[in-house]
Chains A and B, each alone.
Chain A
Amino acid sequence: MKRLLLLLTVAATLSAAELYRVAGVLVDSETGSPIANASLALSPGGESRGELVTSAGSDGRFGFDAPRGKFTLSAVVAGRSEKFGLTSPFAGMGCAVITGPDQDTAHLVFRWYRPVVIAGRVLDDQGEPVERARVQLLYSGVVGGRSRITPLTDAWTDDRGDYRIWWVSGATYYLVVTAQPWYGNNGLARLGQTQAPVAYATVYYPGTTDIARAAPLTVPSGGEAHADFTLTAVAAATITVNCDNDAAGEASATQRRGGMTARVIAEGIGGTETVVSQPPVFRCPFTVNGVLPGRYLLRLSNTGTANPLVAQQWIDVGAGDMAVSLSLHPPASVRGNVTLKSGGARPGGTLVVHLSREAGNTSVSMAVGTDGGFSVPRIEPGKYRVFVSGAGYYAETIRAGDTALPDGVVNIEDGVESRLNIVASNESGRLKGYATRDDQPVANMLVVLVPRDPASGYPNQPFQTDSDGSFDWPPTRAGDYLLFAVDDPTVAWADPQTVRPYLSQAKSIRIEPGKVTEERVPVQAAAR
């Protein structure tokens, strides 16, 4: 069914009412068989306004007549939407469809990655179902150009202990199961002998409580995997937390104003963090019940007050109860300023400073004020990569205090105010061109731009070539680069080790400020 009304409106506003055919077939990525009756949308510039919608036939074929332009093509099958041009389920860039007089967009093969089902049952060691167990799925693969393990989604078990994850794509995953016994913190008292509260030890696929023996589960597109788990209740410790300094008085005053958060954090797979307990805190000292033996980071903070306080400490919990003392202090923070290399007036748009945590997925962004200053009043300690964005600016030099940060990574320590001085430049140029094989442009190739000087701190830039084999980067920092193309978009383009083998055949290019550079780069086979 076509949206003729919209089509005519669009056509009428063009002086040359040329329409180009965008057509093809929607197929299953594993079997190649056509998928019937899906809805497809062609969105100009990826926006929903002005999109054209059609239905594929029972043979999987679809077609649009679209004006000249750059479009995002997406398909919806059983309520699930995917973009055209994915070469693997999580290669998120997709491939834009570019229509025009010399483009063949009428023979597209739209590969649909069928979601998988991961299901199973969680029981305790008495054979009883465990309700509300959390089955956490961690994706193992390349995210943001780096090979890492990233928490992706959760499912919860029902009254029979059954869980079913049906909304993810075929990939390699780790599964982590946590739950609390429903009777656990009652403390089964028996005539004055109080048993310790019980908790379930975290279980990792394929069924071990030892994180070192956690193994990945690979599920192909459209496949089904079954994973059952057994949870065993074990005696757990009670931790009493004291606050041992004057700040405790302030902390107690704070909690009366309504907010102290305590978290017991265990190290998860692949450097992720798992919060094992987040007890309500009403005063200091307080207790945390049901903590299993292990090593944890205990973190305390007050929230939303003018006087922020934090404390954190690594603790080793054994079988018995223990007491911990925390010293509350002001949190780590960042203060800095951005000066423009050109020294000119501040640009109209807002400059934004981003601090992206190396381990894990979090980042903090702060707008830069008109005086060039920015501050992050509280931030969790760790290593962060510093970026600048807005109005085509990038960070040319970054200093923490007096020390230059050549790789753009700052180490933010607990309780310390880090000072950052950033010189931002908008000396950028445009780079566009084609990835070629036998001198012909090839769609869906990964093109990578690597700064020649590894100490520049500027990250590698990726691009997945569009339907006409082209790449076209947004304004990029001027300088010398190595440019290469590889036929596998899942290559970890941000990792120097992974990229090194391709550099010998890469093309040396220079991006000049204010200029547009055009290049053609041959495609290399990915190292397998």
Chain B
Amino acid sequence: MRGVWIFLLLTGWCSAQEDGYVLAGSVVNARTGEPVKQALVTAFRFAARGDAGDGAAARPFRGAVPAPPFTVSALTDASGAFRFTGLTAGTYNLSAQKPHFTHQPTERALVRLESSGKEDVRVELSPLGTIEGKITDQRGQPASSVAVLVMQTSIVDGSRQTSVARSVWTDDRGMFRAWDIAPGRYLIRASGRGGNTSTYMSDDVPSSNGGFDGFVPAYFGGPTADSATPIVMEPGTEARADIGVIVQPAYKVRGTIANFGPGGVDFALLSGEENVGTGRVVFSRTSGAFEMLEVVNGSYTLRAAQGGKTVAEIPILVQGADVEGLRMTLAEAVQIPVNVRIVGQPTEQEKESEDGDLALSPPGFCMVTLHGGLGSGWSPVMLGLRQVGVDPAGGSPVLPGRYRVGVSCNGAYLVSAAMGTTDLLANPWITVSPGAAPATIEVVAHHGGGTISGAIKLDQEPTGKNLYVLAVPRVSTREPALVPAFEQIGRQFSFDSLAPGDYTLYGFSSDQVEYRNPEFLRGLTGGESVHVDEGASATVTITRLVQ
């Protein structure tokens, strides 16, 4: 035994060339495989094991090495290589970063240095993309100072939504460039000469600011968002998007706001549901006078809003001349009353939770949310959390616009939702008009419901992804539901509080499922059918994925 021990000790000495181990390798572009120079590589060591108290006696190496967490970093050289020397044994978290790349997590992120160093570690960096293009007018002339919006479309809550990922401007050549674009689906919109509301404090009328021509906003590939050509960005994609705009004479819209309060005033020029204003507005806090520039011929609704709480709207028609003398008075945004009733008996489970110390939510509740509308970006307006009773205030004030009413219940399933004579289950879209006194949203839900649970079991395992399950009810007025099936819990899933009835379940590899689009639902095949009764639990195994 003694002989063996010495042998092992000698081996230990030989591999400790320079008082420690070597951790070396290179950083490569995940898409092209080429080396990445000047990337910052960081090796972070957690507290090394066996580091109790004075570690010197336990180590066969010369020199004490720090025990607590330890970081070392360096830039890669021209061939993308890095080399750390003199490291102690332990587990290292290796990462790389460089502008215009995202780090792609790989299994090799954790490197273990135990009996020897590692010399061939490969760290991948996934490149981000760029979108470049040129905006020209109908005469082929470059359009400069145009605000170009790079809008990411993704599916949120079953419907396609758009949000602005980047905003850039064209130069004198009409060229724009947006970089560091993550993979995804994008629309490009030319929105008018860049600008925003400038507020000033004097009695003078604003002096001439130009703005004698303008154009209707246009998208890459088409005039509207629906007709636009989406750009699909993968890692490292270099996309090109040229847009032609039609430059026309433009005019000014002038008026005063009677009763603005402290804070900024937001202006929007609405054509249908879209804000087509360029954003160039001059507003005087002394007199309330405003001047909106660069408005081309057309019929619009001019809206002024303050803090999302007060709003004024006025229809305008621009036909070859400036519009003058508008008088706008801000009024309280609309309050929508909500009344929720929950019928049926609370389940045993709910009764327990009501008595228990950890009852975090009342047994069975529903929340009404309005999705859509302008001015608040695309964040939904929450109308309040109500169990029973009428809430005349109805939660947040609602700016005029078109919204989809969403009702989600916990511990109960939706029986009916109506607003006046409108059946919201058949048609969830409502229009809120300024100054109107809207009808109450009446919601009836039923305690309990059925449960569908199960797991996704596939022949080939997709790596590192969470999967999703969509339950589509046979009754078309009910909403489909999408739930995750997390990898960590063996891809199990469950749907709670479902209305009794028939459902078809489908598995998906991402959460980008457009279940509020009837065409999308009609095209689904290969699902598992299941029936669930009140208070019952059904089990399903999903064996294949759609898409």
Contacts A43-B207, A48-B206, A191-B86 given; indicate if A128 touches B172 (C-beta within 8 A): no
B118-151 Cβ-contact flags toward A at 8 Å (1 or 0) = 0000000000001000000000011011000000
Q: Does B524 contact A (CB under 8 A)?
A: no
Across the two chains, which residue of chain B brings its CB closest to A47?
A: B205
CB proximity of B308 to chain A, nearest CB, Å: 26
Check if A190 sits within 8 Å of B210, measured CB to CB.
no
Q: Which residue of B lies closest to A83 (CB)?
A: B208
Cβ-neighbour of A43 out of B71, B180, B208, B254 (below 8 A):
B208
Contact with A along B81-96 (1 / 0, CB 8 A): 0001111000000000
Which of A41, A72, A131, A167 is B212 in contact with, Cβ under 8 Å?
A41
Other-chain residue from A5, A51, A164, A190 in contact with B208 (beta carbon distance below 8 A):
A51
Give A64 Cβ to nearest chain B Cβ, in Å: 14
Contact: B212 with A159, CB < 8 Å?
A: no
Q: A183 near B75 (CB under 8 angstroms)?
A: yes
B72 touches A186 (CB 8 A): no
* A159-B100 contact, Cβ under 8 Å, with A164-B171, A166-B171: yes
Is B189 an interface residue when CB atoms closer than 8 A count as contact?
Answer: no
Give the distance in Å from the alpha carbon of A167 to the alpha carbon of B193 in the complex: 14
Give min CB distance, A230 to chain B, whole Å: 15
**B86 cross-chain contacts in A, Cβ below 8 A:** 191
Cβ of B321 under 8 Å from chain A: yes
A39 adjacent to B172 (CB under 8 Å): no
> Measured between alpha carbons, how far is A81 from B207 in the docked complex, in Å?
12
Known: A159-B99, A192-B66. A128 touches B208 (CB 8 A): no
Whether a CB of chain A sits under 8 angstroms from the CB of B7 is no
Taken together as a complex, chains A and B put the C-alpha atoms of A169 and B200 apart, in Å, by: 27
Per the bound structure, the CA–CA distance linking A128 and B321 in Å amounts to 52
Question: Interface centre among B66, B78, B142, B208, by most A CB within 10 Å?
Answer: B208
Q: Judge whether B179 is part of the interface by a CB distance below 8 angstroms.
A: yes
Q: Is A182 an interface residue (CB 8 A)?
A: yes
Please name all residues of chain B whose beta carbon is closer than 8 Å to the beta carbon of A117 when the two chains form the complex.
172
> With A3-B321, A48-B205, A79-B144 in contact, is A166–B212 under 8 Å at CB?
no
Does chain A have a CB within 8 A of B367? no
State A128–B80 Cα separation when bound (angstroms): 13
Q: Which residues of B contact A182 (CB under 8 A)?
A: 99
Kindly list chain A residues whose C-beta atoms are within 8 Å of the C-beta of B40: 183, 186
Interface range for B: 35 or more
A41-B212, A81-B209, A188-B74 in contact; A158/B66 too (CB < 8 A)?
no
- Within 8 Å of chain B (Cβ to Cβ): is A412? no
| Chain A contacts with B in 191-226, Cβ cutoff 8 A | 191-192
CB B334 to nearest CB in A, in angstroms, measures 34
How many A residues face the partner with a CB closer than 8 A? 38
Cβ–Cβ < 8 Å partners of B171 in chain A: 164, 166
Q: Are B208 and A46 in contact, CB atoms less than 8 angstroms apart?
A: yes
Q: Would you call B291 an interface residue if the criterion is a C-beta within 8 Å of the partner chain's C-beta atoms?
A: yes
Closest approach, in angstroms, between the C-beta of B506 and any C-beta of chain A?
41
Q: Among the interface residues B71, B99, B177, B204, which one has the most CB atoms of the partner chain A within 10 A?
A: B99
Please state if A189 and B172 are interface contacts (CB–CB under 8 Å): no
Interface string of B234-261 (1 = CB under 8 A from A): 0000000000000001001010000000
- Decide yes or no whether B38 CB sits under 8 A from chain A: yes
Contact between B177 and A6 (Cβ–Cβ < 8 Å)? no
Type the 1/0 row for A32-52, where 1 means its CB is closer than 8 Å to any CB of B: 000000010101001111010
Tell me whether A48 and B209 are in contact in the complex, defined as CB-CB below 8 angstroms, given that A183-B75, A190-B72 are known contacts.
yes
B208:A79 contact, CB within 8 angstroms: no
Report the bound CA distance from A49 to B207 in whole Å: 8
Query: A117-133 interface mask toward B, CB cutoff 8 Å, 1 = contact, 0 = none?
Result: 10000000010100100
- A428 interfacial by beta-carbon distance below 8 Å: no
How far is it, in angstroms, between the C-alpha of A282 and the C-alpha of B218 when the chains are bound?
Answer: 47
What is the minimal beta-carbon distance from A351 to any residue of chain B, in angstroms?
17
The smallest C-beta distance from A88 to any residue of chain B, in angstroms, reads: 21
Closest-CB distance, A167 to chain B (whole angstroms): 8
Which residues of chain A have C-beta atoms less than 8 A from B78's C-beta?
Answer: 126
Q: Is A67 an interface position by the 8 A CB rule? A: no
Q: Are A159 and B207 also in contact (CB < 8 A) when A186-B73, A188-B75 are?
A: no
Query: B141, B172, B206: which contacts A115 (Cβ < 8 A)?
Result: B172
Let me know if B37 is at the binding interface, CB within 8 A: yes
Q: Establish whether residues B208 and A189, one from each chain, have CB atoms under 8 Å apart when the complex forms.
A: no
Residue of A nearest to B38 (CB): A128
Interface flags for B32-64 (1: CB within 8 Å of A; 0: not) read 000001101000000000000000000000000
CB neighbors of B among A374-431 (8 A): none
A126 to B36, CA, bound (A): 13
Chain A residues near B502 (CB, 8 Å)? none
Q: Do the beta carbons of A81 and B321 come within 8 Å of each other?
A: no
Does the CB pair B210–A81 fall under 8 Å? yes
Interface mask (B162-196 → A, CB under 8 Å = 1, otherwise 0): 00000000011000010110000000000001000
**With an 8 A cutoff between CB atoms, is B274 at the interface?**
no
Query: Is B534 an interface position by the 8 A CB rule?
Result: no
Q: Is B213 an interface residue (CB 8 A)?
A: yes
Asked whether any CB of chain B lies closer than 8 Å to the CB of A53, the reply is yes
| A231 shortest CB reach to chain B, Å | 13
Interface string of A86-125 (1 = CB under 8 A from B): 0000000000000000000000000000010100000000
CB distance from B84 to the nearest CB of A (A): 8
Determine if A190 and B74 form an interchain contact, defined as CB atoms under 8 angstroms apart. yes
Contact of B37 among A43, A126, A164, A186 (CB under 8 A): A126
A306 interfacial by beta-carbon distance below 8 Å: no
User: Measured between C-beta atoms, what is the minimum distance from A434 to chain B in Å?
Assistant: 27
CB proximity to B under 8 Å, residues A130-169: 131, 158-159, 164, 166-167
- Give the interface centre of B38, B72, B87, B210 by most chain A CB atoms within 10 Å: B210
Whole-angstrom distance between the Cβ of B317 and the nearest chain A Cβ: 14
Those of A1-35 within 8 Å (CB) of chain B: 1, 3, 5-6
Give chain B nearest CB distance to A283 CB in angstroms: 25
Interface residues of B in 311-332 (CB under 8 A from A): 321-322
A189 to chain B, nearest CB (A): 6
> With an 8 A cutoff between CB atoms, is A289 at the interface?
no
How far, in angstroms, from A117 to B37 measured CA to CA in the complex? Answer: 32
Instruction: Name which residue of chain B comes closest to A166, CB basis.
Output: B172
Q: How distant is the Cα of A128 from the Cα of B99 in the complex, in angstroms?
A: 11
Decide yes or no whether A254 CB sits under 8 A from chain B: no
In angstroms, how far is the closest chain A Cβ from the Cβ of B180?
Answer: 7
Identify which of residues 164-188 in chain A touch chain B, using a CB-to-CB cut-off of 8 Å. 164, 166-167, 182-183, 186, 188
Which of A49, A79, A159, A191 makes the CB contact (< 8 A) with B254? A49
Contact of B172 among A41, A78, A183 (CB under 8 A): A78
Q: Name the residue on B nearest A5 (C-beta).
A: B321
25 contacts between A and B (CB under 8 A): A1-B249, A3-B322, A6-B321, A6-B322, A39-B210, A39-B213, A43-B207, A46-B207, A46-B208, A47-B204, A47-B207, A47-B208, A48-B206, A48-B209, A48-B291, A49-B205, A74-B210, A78-B144, A79-B145, A79-B210, A81-B209, A81-B210, A189-B72, A189-B73, A191-B84
3 closest A-B pairs by beta carbon, nearest first, are A39-B212, A166-B172, A159-B179
Known contacts A159-B179, A166-B172; 8 further A-B pairs (Cβ under 8 A)? A39-B210, A48-B208, A51-B208, A78-B142, A79-B144, A79-B210, A186-B73, A188-B75
